[in-house]
Structure 1
Amino acid sequence: MILIDADVVTLSRLQFALTALYHFLFVPLTLGLVWILAIMESVYVMTGREVWKRMVQFWGVLFGINFAMGVATGVTMEFQFGMNWAYYSHYVGDIFGAPLAIEGLMAFFLEATLVGVFFMGWERISRIKHLLVTWFLALGTSLSALWILVANAWMQNPVGAAFNPETMRMEVTSFSAVLFNPVAQDKFVHTVSAGYVLGAMFVLSISAWYLLRGRNVDFAKRSMTVAASFGLAAALSVVVLGDESGYSVSLNQKMKMASIEAMWETEPAPAPFTLFGLPDMQQRTTHYALKIPWVMGLIGTRSLDQTMPGINELVDDAKGRIGNGIQAYDAMLMLRRDKDDAQAKATLAAHDQDLGYALLLKKYVDDPRRATPADIQKAADSTIPNVPVLFWSFRIMVACGFYFIALFALSFWKASKRTLDRQRGYLRLALWSLPLPWIAIELGWIVAEYGRQPWAIEGVLPTALGVSAVSTGQILTSLGGFLLFYTALAVVDAVLMLKFARKGPDGLGLWPPALATLPSDRP
């Protein structure tokens, strides 16, 4: 008997994926743009030049629109943990709920207060105090992201927690281990750096649009100079920190790493990097593979002599862990009948790390202890995520990263030569590059989350077991409601951002042409 409604699981995953990916259209722009505002306002306070204040105010308007949309789309995600993922919330809520609650306090109290003072305080507090508000807003925004990433990193690498057979839940054993999870540290620096790239590209692209039309020239050139400098540093950081994040994946999520590489068989050390190929999940091979020797081994193991296991080897390892997990599952049930059973306690303690692998069998049989070898093979095979999706998502993301370095390096060089407005081809390139950071960021989340499947919590709780006891019709209704709501927000956001970007600082009265001739505003 199959206990899991596959349609409910699929629709629940689809709903959360759509809302999460949509929400993350706004988060990284907030992360990046607020630091550019802080840099610009610092220059204003140090120089007293009015143009820098007007730059902060104009880009601040676009920041405010984006911030509001980020909050609106983020609130709905919180409710989904109860509506669609009730058992997930019950099973790991003790661990996952704490950083989520702290993030809520950061976002809805600290950030919201600072945003209000940022917009309303220009004429009410001194320059220095307003600058401090802007810098604290930038810091608060990053801290808000930190707690979300701590929660997400625990899903990737569940440290500082253990299964309690009395409560039948995962419980915190060390909050400091959860907080200082090495995966959380790597994800945080990599994610915020990607947001910085997006913020820089946003300013660079819109400023290029003004230069193409001969509007707000001094304003746009200064904005592009800041964006080029900040963007180059951020783009270099993304690549370096992304490499460190990849190393963490190779340590903690070996199947995800093997799938990203479409590495079906274990390669001799050091493993090559597959630059191009066509992964085939049916035949478990990669056609037309073009490999670069040693690169993957150096990235994944930081050595020349350590091997990286292939997908087939990891499937065999999963079969062994499923067998151990069945013993843990049996011991757990015995403890429910007699909590003082010493033998059951010893067995569970020996194999509790593999209990989640036994739960993979719930998709095929009602009692994992009755699983046949065929059931165990199916469960082991289910640990393979969608290899082609991961393979290409990762490569497109990496290609975008190196493109950003090149574009920002060119922009920085042109800014240093004061030739930002000399070549219309360059300006068009900068303008049409605007969507690329969003594409790269969304692909990064697809790699992180899709690559973790079939796990909601890596090695602990299968995604299929985390869903609520709801019907397909109920999920379809909520999914339709979210799609309508988010589509409406998308239209509103697009209209507002385009409206204010087209008006520009001159259209908003922030940068009248007459101010451009003032001696204090010359470079």
Structure 2
Amino acid sequence: MTSMDVVSLSRLQFGLTALYHFLFVPLTLGLAVLLGVMESVYVMTGREIWKEMTKFWGVLFGINFAMGVATGITMEFQFGMNWAYYSHYVGDIFGAPLAIEGLMAFFLEATFIGLFFFGWDKLSRVQHLAVTWLVALGSNLSALWILIANGWMQYPVGAKFNPDTMRMEVSDFMAVLFNPVAQAKFVHTVSAGYVTGSMFVLSVSAFYLLRGRHVEFAKRSMTVAASFGLASALSVVVLGDESGYTAGENQKMKIAAIEAMWDTEPAPASFTLFGLPDLKNRRTNYEIKIPWMLGLIATRSIDKTVPGINELVGHAEQRIRAGLIAYDALDKLRRQPSDTERARLDANAADLGYALLLKKIRPDITNAASDEITAAAWSTVPAVSPLFWSFRIMVGLGFYFIALFAVAFVLASRRELTRYRSFLWLALLSLPLPWIAAELGWVVAEVGRQPWVIEGVLPTFLAVSSISAANVWFTLIGFVVFYSTLAIVDVYLMLKTVKDGPPAGAAPEQPKLRLAVSPAE
């Protein structure tokens, strides 16, 4: 059996690199669309200040985009380095969205980003505006294909196990493409990126207003950020509800763990606003609940139950036993082809992955005892406390963003952005919060999927490469040093650009005075 040290280190390495990479992705998504909005205003009005705004925020976008590319490329290499069996087992499905992302989205974005920076004097206004929106489109398409791949890991549809090749293979690519989990994750993640971009513009603009610098530039930028940010923050909450529903349909254990709900409640289930999960006694203490809320989110009904952890563990135990039948049939089929064994395998193939959970306990899983099957069933419960708190902090921040952008929108509408310095300080200090929310969202999505690398199909501990822990340590340290260096460079360049500010000419044009009478008079 593969050393658990290698599994833990490989998970740690991919988790850290993903968290680093996700520092840059949301801002890229948000700023790309904001650039399109600002330049659209410039094209419609012809006012130079909007052009200078697009250029200034475009420089910050370019810095962040370059760092995102550098951190993203190494992530894909890890599938071959640390997750070789995963790549072999599901590469037929998982590889297609990644390849399309590279060919369709990344090259579209990379091609037009050069025209964005160097085409101001070579393209007409409308042509350059089209380039800017194509950059934004490329950013969103890139996120779409990545999240289609990730959504399939959460809810593996459109594929089936082939006993002849011992791999998962595509059976319906359209089902993979229109996976409901992937679609929900895409719109939710992209909206969160828009919030991040809006908060970045809002906070930097607040900094300028507090310093009394570039006031007109900052007020216009803040107005755009407040309007776009409010719409995006509202979308995040609404689309997050959709993500909760899809998880309630397809990842019931994740929902139960997020809620620390050990026992199934009568329908409709209540939502735990606050509580202290007690893992030892498998209960949650000091609960404050909102009646009906969880049932409405997870089932969109008042008569369907949301199963608790204990019930789901019992269901997992049944699936393990069915999976053992499939495993035994597969073993016999590989030794001696038989229609009877193939029929047994086909009838229980959906549960084969659950039987593989036993390989963490013993190599000869067909001889597993009842207590070992029970232990394997309990391994399907992800880390409850991190999920419980990560979700609540993320949701709390989401409602905070709505309130903050709503206040900013009202002040901008009344032309009172410079009146309340306390609000400007609040906007400035809120700068890191969207990244915290985004990272916590990633924790909820990925930790909630454990112990599966492919939900219900392939346990994480079986997906790693046959390499030594020393090799993983070496690359892990290398990635941390490299990514930390990039993060420091990114922050330095961002701070330097913000400190320098927009060019001195980025001020609104003063209206020309017109004489009331003709000079002849």
Q: With structure 2 as the length reference, what TM-score do the two structures score? A: 0.97
How far apart are 1:335 and its partner, in Å?
A: 1.2
RMSD across aligned positions (CA): 0.9
Residue 428 of structure 1 aligns to which amino acid in structure 2?
W
Q: Distance in 2 between matches of 1:316 and 1:4?
A: 27
Equivalent residues of 2:48, 2:509 under 8 A apart: no
Encode CA deviations 1:38-75: one digit per residue, 9 max, x unaligned.
00000000000000000000000000000000000000
1:487 to 477, 481, 484: 484
Q: Distance in 2 between matches of 1:180 and 1:97?
A: 16
Q: Distance in 2 between matches of 1:102 and 1:93?
A: 14
Encode CA deviations 1:168-223: one digit per residue, 9 max, x unaligned.
00000010000000111100100000000000000000000000000000000000
How far apart are 1:505 and its partner, in Å?
A: 0.4
Corresponding residue of 1:289: 287
Residue 403 of structure 2 aligns to which amino acid in structure 1?
A
Residue 56 of structure 2 aligns to which amino acid in structure 1?
F
Q: Distance in 2 between matches of 1:481 and 1:489?
A: 12
How far apart are 1:4 and its partner, in Å?
A: 2.9
1:153-302 equivalences under 5 Å are: 153-302=151-300
How far apart are 1:372 and its partner, in Å?
A: 1.0
Q: Distance in 2 between matches of 1:71 and 1:200?
A: 21
Residue 458 of structure 1 aligns to which amino acid in structure 2?
E
Which 4+ residue blocks in structure 1 deviate beyond 3 angstroms? none
Secondary structure of the residue that 1:28 maps to in structure 2?
A: helix
Residue 33 of structure 1 aligns to which amino acid in structure 2?
L
Equivalent residues of 2:394, 2:437 under 8 A apart: yes
2:363 to 363, 366, 383: 366
Corresponding residue of 1:410: 407
Encode CA deviations 1:407-460: one digit per residue, 9 max, x unaligned.
000000000000001111000000000101000000001000000000000000
1:62-461 equivalences under 5 Å are: 62-339=60-337, 341-461=338-458
Equivalent residues of 1:390, 1:447 under 8 A apart: yes
Secondary structure of the residue that 1:275 maps to in structure 2?
A: strand
Q: Distance in 2 between matches of 1:225 and 1:100?
A: 37
Q: Distance in 1 between matches of 2:460 and 2:505?
A: 51
1:24 to 22, 25, 30: 22
How far apart are 1:359 and its partner, in Å?
A: 0.4
Q: Distance in 2 between matches of 1:254 and 1:516?
A: 55
Equivalent residues of 1:91, 1:169 under 8 A apart: yes
Secondary structure of the residue that 2:501 maps to in structure 1?
A: helix
Secondary structure of the residue that 2:33 maps to in structure 1?
A: helix
Equivalent residues of 1:58, 1:510 under 8 A apart: no
Equivalent residues of 2:196, 2:435 under 8 A apart: yes
Q: Distance in 1 between matches of 2:124 and 2:137?
A: 20
Q: Distance in 2 between matches of 1:109 and 1:246?
A: 33
Corresponding residue of 1:50: 48
2:496 is the alignment partner of 1:499: yes
How far apart are 1:516 and its partner, in Å?
A: 3.9
Q: Distance in 2 between matches of 1:355 and 1:516?
A: 66
Residue 449 of structure 1 aligns to which amino acid in structure 2?
E
How far apart are 1:146 and its partner, in Å?
A: 0.2
Q: Distance in 2 between matches of 1:105 and 1:501?
A: 34
Encode CA deviations 1:125-163: one digit per residue, 9 max, x unaligned.
100000001111111110110000000000000000000
Residue 133 of structure 1 aligns to which amino acid in structure 2?
V
Encode CA deviations 1:314-340: one digit per residue, 9 max, x unaligned.
00000000000000001111111123x
Secondary structure of the residue that 1:286 maps to in structure 2?
A: strand
Structure 2: gaps spanning 5 or more residues: 513-521
When residues 61 and 376 of structure 1 are mapped into structure 2, their CA distance, relative to the original with a 3 A threshold, is same
Equivalent residues of 1:232, 1:409 under 8 A apart: yes
How far apart are 1:106 and its partner, in Å?
A: 3.5
2:13 is the alignment partner of 1:15: yes
Q: Distance in 1 between matches of 2:472 and 2:181?
A: 32
How far apart are 1:517 and its partner, in Å?
A: 5.2
Corresponding residue of 2:519: none
Equivalent residues of 2:108, 2:134 under 8 A apart: no
Equivalent residues of 1:277, 1:290 under 8 A apart: yes
Residue 15 of structure 2 aligns to which amino acid in structure 1?
A
Q: Distance in 1 between matches of 2:105 and 2:97?
A: 12
Residue 519 of structure 1 aligns to which amino acid in structure 2?
P
Q: Distance in 2 between matches of 1:58 and 1:113?
A: 20
Secondary structure of the residue that 1:288 maps to in structure 2?
A: strand
Corresponding residue of 2:510: 518
How far apart are 1:378 and its partner, in Å?
A: 1.1
How far apart are 1:8 and its partner, in Å?
A: 0.6
Structure 1: gaps spanning 5 or more residues: none
Equivalent residues of 1:259, 1:387 under 8 A apart: yes
Encode CA deviations 1:95-142: one digit per residue, 9 max, x unaligned.
000001111123541111010000000000100000001111111110
Q: Distance in 1 between matches of 2:224 and 2:297?
A: 32
Deviates more, 1:349-358 or 1:372-381: 372-381
Corresponding residue of 2:515: none
Residue 185 of structure 2 aligns to which amino acid in structure 1?
K
Encode CA deviations 1:275-318: one digit per residue, 9 max, x unaligned.
10111222111111111111111111111111110000000000
Equivalent residues of 1:386, 1:451 under 8 A apart: yes
Q: With structure 1 as the length reference, what TM-score do the two structures score? A: 0.97
Secondary structure of the residue that 1:289 maps to in structure 2?
A: strand
Residue 479 of structure 1 aligns to which amino acid in structure 2?
L
